[in-house]
Amino acid sequence: MRPVPALGIARTWPAAGRLCAVGGAVVGRTLFSVDVGGTFTDVVMVRDGTIHVTKVPSNAGATHLPVIEGARRLGVEDAAVFNHASTQGLNAVLTRSLPKIGFLTTQGHRDMLDAGRCMRPMNNQTDARWHRPFGDAARPLVRRYLRRGIHERILATGAVLLEFDESQARGELELLRRCGIQGLAICLINSFVNPDHEQRLLALAGEVFGPKFPLSASFQVGPRAKEYARASTTVIDVMMKLIYADYAHLLDAQLRAEGFTGQLNFADCTAALIPWRDAITAPHRILFAGPAAGAAACCGLGAAIGDGNLIGCDVGGTSTDVTVIVAGAPFINDSFEIEHDLLVNTLATEVASVGAGGGSIIAVSPSGDLRVGPQSAGATPGPACYGRGGTQPTVTDACLLMGILEPAGFADGQIRLDTAAAAGAFASLDCRMSQDERVRFAWKIALNNIAEEISRCALRHGVDGRDFSLVAFGSAGPMLLAGVLQLVKARRLIVPPHPGLFSAIGLLSTDFVYANSRSQYQMLLPDSGPQIEAIFAALEAQLRERLGTEAVSVRRSFDGRLAGQSWETPFIKVDAAALQTRGPAALIDEFHAEYARRNGVAFPQIPVQAVTWRVQMIVATEKLSWQPLPAGAGTPAPLGRRVLRYLDQQEISAPVYQRAGLGAGHSVAGPALLIEPLATTLVLPGQTAQIGTVGEIVITESA
């Protein structure tokens, strides 16, 4: 087997797009960001407006090592900030590589973690063999013998029905200690209304296990209504403490050893920044940061080019993450699912995923047709063409055989792809199709999988995809999305500068955000203004205690629902001045406007009930904005030509252009390939690619 060189030589590519800092001094300032993925760790440095990047293969056994290696290559010594996003915790949950924890709840309710919300996926409504993926019959997060009941009960009003039995609780804690648990989650019924029993149980647990033992109690993690979601969030939180606490301390120490003297920050599920010591006190907030960073990058690019209606498509090795952005802002939800019905209560950018990426495995279904994904070859062994022992064909293998990828030019020439291995992988499929049909149909199925998810996301929000621009990023996005553009009939396709590291760039475009929330049911009636103001004042006072006199902007919001609904519309903005002058009517109008924006329909005649109240305090940071690219001179000259196969019945000869050699205004007619060190953009016949004002590639269907 031919050895494959390691990835990750540091590169500088200023011609594809330039950034500058806004809201602070840029001279002498160096900004770092890192996006730790399952396959690669992307590290970006911006120094004096020039982007320096490196890719390092991720290390599942020692996640911090690729981060340190990337920082060392680019020179982290003079960096002012180091912003971090990771899928480490998310992957640990998905693979069940989790620590052993205990769970305490009110007597009789320990099986809420098995039952969930008693909701089945649409595709499994009539499947008698289906099991909840985290249920006791499948892969539970906490084994049933480690889920214990406590003799106590608080009513929904906050009144005590059954007093807290300290002796019985101590016995359960001692039992869990003998079982060797590594952490403990506590979630008692209705503790979001009255946390007294949870506070006493938390103190008792500290006595039994010691002051440094990882503990999470739901009244601290998120005092919100709905017991199961609060419980699952608390369980995830204590698990993430065990996963991220040592990692964060080790990462900070090793960065300091490399000479870093700035601020290490973690991104949360909306890509907002949190100082790392604050992040590990509530680490469930940082579980889904990577996809959120991609959405933040899309918003920044959209603002620079004057396009606020975008559908971001982050095509990585395993999946495509789709985000709908309307009027310059993504949809923010009050929770997200890791798996079906496995909820985490935290503000999160809405991202939908489909198992179609560069590493998605192409297989034969029981009926004899081809299937693409959701299984992926991952980083190990990777696609067959990597030469690392992979034998199953992937989308990357198909792109190599089609001529989209060049064997000698992949990853800036650091890996030479093996065409024969890719062809052999397709030939090994047990089906009656010819080799040409296997590659062509695999390509088309992958495009249709992505197009179906994009259309589903647009339909869910009641928007017309023809009014939106697709944004292709992730290393595989630029070579796949031109075909998707033909299927979804979007307005145009935008390929940003440095698409393979676009999410990491998004981490340099967000603020510090400190948040507080609580659930309290409140019908929005004309006389409820004073109660609402008192709730917000209490939440703000708690945050002020943490932040002191630091200059902040305050953002109020609430999660509300139409009377009779069982689910909420999250993150309804509250204007403090409008609340003072118009009272709850201002909140009602804002609710109906947001409801219509999300769902395409409104019901202003139905009363509104608020469920959860939120306050965010934002500390502005130095951000990055895209700068204009110099206009291109003359007609761009191709580097050469490449034969594209399987796009049609006949082979097609396509010119190949170096993206760095194209200036603003340059136009290229398809078929064509635009290459750069870590991505290849495909322009299909009948399409035109034009270089935009900040270096983005804009692909449109020719008239």
Query: How many angstroms separate the Cα of 278 from the Cα of each of 144, 512, 538?
Result: 31, 11, 21
Return the axis-axis angle of helices 477-488 and 395-402, rounded to nearest 10°: 90
What's the chain's length in residues? 703
> Hey, what CATH class is 512-620 in?
alpha beta
- Please provide residue 513's backbone torsions phi and psi, each rounded to the nearest 5 degrees: -130, 125
Beta-bridge partner residues of 574 = 556
**Model pLDDT, residue 28:** 46
Q: Are 627 and 694 in contact (CB under 8 A)?
A: yes
Query: For residue range 516-525, what is the model confidence (pLDDT) as tens digits?
Result: 888 889 999 9
End-to-end CA distance of the chain: 49
92/239 Cα distance (integer angstroms):
9
Say whether pLDDT at 492 is over 70.
yes
Query: For residue range 320-334, what is the model confidence (pLDDT) as tens digits?
Result: 999 999 999 999 888
**Residue 140 tokens, joined:** 């539970």
| pLDDT-wise least confident of 109-113, 356-360, 578-582, 666-670 | 356-360
**Residue 55 tokens, joined:** 């890719």
Q: How far is CA 68 from the centre of its chain?
A: 22
408/416 Cα distance (integer angstroms):
5
**Model pLDDT, residue 12:** 39
Hey, where are the domains in the chain? Answer: 98-239, 512-620
472/677 Cα distance (integer angstroms):
16
| DSSP calls for 483-544 | HHHHHHT-SEEEE-SSGGGHHHHHTTS--EEEEEEEEEEEE--TT-HHHHHHHHHHHHHHHH
Say whether pLDDT at 7 is over 90.
no
Q: How confident is the model at residue 375 (pLDDT cuts 50, 70, 90)?
A: confident
Q: How confident is the model at residue 549 (pLDDT cuts 50, 70, 90)?
A: low
**Residue 61 tokens, joined:** 């056994």
Q: How confident is the model at residue 641 (pLDDT cuts 50, 70, 90)?
A: very high
Place of tokens 């299984």: 375
Q: How confident is the model at residue 14 (pLDDT cuts 50, 70, 90)?
A: very low
Q: Are 32 and 52 in contact (CB under 8 A)?
A: no
**Model pLDDT, residue 2:** 31
| pLDDT-wise least confident of 185-189, 240-244, 286-290 | 286-290
Mean pLDDT over residues 291-313, rounded?
Answer: 93
**Model pLDDT, residue 412:** 65
**Residue 33 tokens, joined:** 């960001």
Query: For residue range 114-126, what is the model confidence (pLDDT) as tens digits?
Result: 988 888 888 788 8
629/495 Cα distance (integer angstroms):
15
Q: How confident is the model at residue 18 (pLDDT cuts 50, 70, 90)?
A: very low
State which amino acid sits at residue 341: D
Those residues whose C-beta lies under 8 Å from the C-beta of residue 663, and which sit 6 or more positions away, are: 629, 630, 631, 632, 633, 691
**Model pLDDT, residue 413:** 66
Helix, strand, coil percent values for the chain (each to nearest 5): 35, 30, 40
Place of tokens 């809420």: 112
Report the percent of the chain where pLDDT is more than 90.
Answer: 63
| pLDDT-wise least confident of 183-187, 409-413, 674-678 | 409-413
Three-class DSSP category at 332: strand
**Model pLDDT, residue 8:** 39
- Letter string b/e over residues 126-157, b meaning 16 or more CB atoms within 10 A of that residue's CB: eeeeeebbbbbeebbbbeeebbbbbbbbbeee
Say whether pLDDT at 23 is over 50.
no
| pLDDT-wise least confident of 116-125, 361-370, 451-460 | 116-125
Q: Are 322 and 351 in contact (CB under 8 A)?
A: yes
**Model pLDDT, residue 414:** 65
**Model pLDDT, residue 1:** 30
Beta-bridge partner residues of 52 = 12, 45
**Model pLDDT, residue 703:** 66
Residue with the larger pLDDT of the pair 51 and 652 = 652
| DSSP calls for 385-410 | GGTSS--S-BHHHHHHHHTSS-TTTB
Mean pLDDT over residues 248-262, rounded?
Answer: 94
> pTM of the full predicted structure?
0.85
Q: Are 268 and 346 in contact (CB under 8 A)?
A: yes
Query: How many angstroms separate the Cα of 366 from the Cα of each of 361, 362, 369, 431?
Result: 15, 13, 8, 10
